[in-house]
């Protein structure tokens, strides 16, 4: 597996913020550079699910997350929702991969329709047109026919649809174990080294 990638990570307003925060932690811990984007509703969800108050201003958010994870300045960059001069807005400077975790059905639909009203949507559109990996992590149930058709359209366009569905064959004992299962699958798709969960066949299942 490879390390030291530049990865765009976006949070939208679906439930599942613990997945997104844990993913950010692991990407940074493995030495990757991260471009972070998040919606206004994602801020509300983070506060409701994790009591985490994420600043609205990009510069303040960078300081917040640098302190939160104990980072040196420069490894993490945060961009505003309409910061159109951000690297992620152009195919001339795309990240290696992009993950939207959690991903709302509204965001998924906008990407499927080619809408670029917000930076998150534009960044995802760039990944598709440049044939870079785009991973969408929806957290919704049940899926409507519209949701499924949008996912199928995106999968046919090259996106990876990775629902936040934790497994149980590794005998999770805590909520964190279940979060780590999903994050591990995302990291596998990105080619990022991790030891979050045992791999099938590497340890005896009882």
Give SS3 for 174: coil
8 belongs to an annotated ligand binding site: no
105 belongs to an annotated ligand binding site: yes
199 belongs to an annotated ligand binding site: no
13 belongs to an annotated ligand binding site: yes
91 belongs to an annotated ligand binding site: no
54 belongs to an annotated ligand binding site: no
Of 131, 191, 129, 139, nearest to 161 by C-alpha is: 139
State the Cα–Cα distance between residues 114 and 40, nearest whole angstrom: 21
DSSP letters, 110-144, are HHHTT--SSHHHHHHHHHHHTT-EEEEEE--SSPP
77 belongs to an annotated ligand binding site: no
Q: Where are the alpha helices (DSSP H) in the chain?
A: 17-29, 40-50, 58-69, 105-112, 119-129, 145-156, 175-190
Give Cβ neighbours of residue 155 (< 8 Å, ≥ 6 apart): 161
169 belongs to an annotated ligand binding site: yes
6 belongs to an annotated ligand binding site: no
4 belongs to an annotated ligand binding site: no
185 belongs to an annotated ligand binding site: yes
Residues β-bridged to residue 10: 37, 100
State the Cα–Cα distance between residues 135 and 98, nearest whole angstrom: 6
Contact present, 8 and 98 (Cβ < 8 Å): yes
Q: Which residues are known binding-site members for FMN?
A: 13-15, 39, 104-107, 139
Q: Which residues are known binding-site members?
A: 13-15, 39, 104-107, 139, 169, 185
Q: Which residues are known binding-site members for dimethylallyl phosphate?
A: 169, 185
């Amino acid at each position: 597996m490879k390390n030291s990638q530049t990865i765009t990570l976006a949070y939208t307003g679906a439930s599942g913020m613990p997945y997104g925060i844990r993913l950010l932690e692991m990407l940074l811990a493995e030495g990757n550079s991260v471009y972070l984007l998040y919606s206004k509703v994602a801020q509300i969800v983070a506060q409701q699910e994790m009591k985490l108050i994420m600043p609205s201003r990009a510069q303040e958010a960078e300081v917040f997350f640098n302190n939160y994870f104990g980072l040196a300045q420069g490894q993490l960059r945060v961009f505003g929702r309409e910061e159109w001069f951000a690297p992620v807005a152009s195919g001339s400077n795309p990240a290696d991969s992009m993950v939207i975790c959690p991903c709302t059905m509204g965001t998924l639909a906008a990407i499927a329709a080619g809408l670029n009203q917000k930076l998150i949507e534009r960044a995802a559109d760039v990944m598709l047109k440049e044939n870079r990996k785009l991973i969408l992590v929806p957290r919704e149930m049940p899926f409507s026919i519209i949701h499924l058709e949008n996912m199928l359209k995106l999968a046919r366009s090259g996106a990876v649809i990775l629902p936040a569905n934790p497994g149980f064959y590794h005998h999770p004992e805590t909520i964190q174990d279940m979060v780590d299962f999903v994050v591990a699958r995302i990291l596998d798709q990105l080619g990022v080294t991790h030891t979050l969960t045992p791999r099938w066949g590497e340890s005896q299942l009882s």
